[in-house]
Amino acid sequence: MTPAPPEVALDRDNRALLAQARRSGQPVVILLVTTELGRTAEATAGLEELGGIVGTGGSAADHPVGHLRVSMPTENVERAAALPAVTAVDIDQLIPRDNPRPQDAPP
């Protein structure tokens, strides 16, 4: 018997981004992860067990605030969000910006 999937801890926007990544066949997504204070090492270990590559710019001990950038297999994003030491997960995305050029300036 297959175990029940973990409770999804992603908000609506992140669920939509995850669905889009799945539809496009994207094997890996970049996650911005926040952990509970003092539990960054625990979160890092759990994320790595799920196949994530954690990039913090140093060791987990160097990041007491608990912000991690993680390359995570798309199939494991929901499990990553449900880890006990993880408090928030955002799927990284490009944010469209207006062209900063003045309105009547030549291109």
In the chain, the domains with their CATH numbers are 27-91 (3.30.70.920)
Beta bridge partners of 29: 72
Question: What pLDDT does residue 37 have?
Answer: 86
Q: Are 76 and 50 in contact (CB under 8 A)?
A: yes
Q: What is the three-class DSSP state of 15?
A: helix
Single-letter residue type at 79? R
- pTM for this model (two decimals): 0.75
Q: Are 54 and 72 in contact (CB under 8 A)?
A: no
Please give the chain's pLDDT, 107 residues, in tens. Answer: 444 444 447 899 999 999 999 999 999 999 999 988 888 899 999 999 999 999 855 555 555 668 899 999 999 999 999 999 999 999 987 666 676 777 776 66
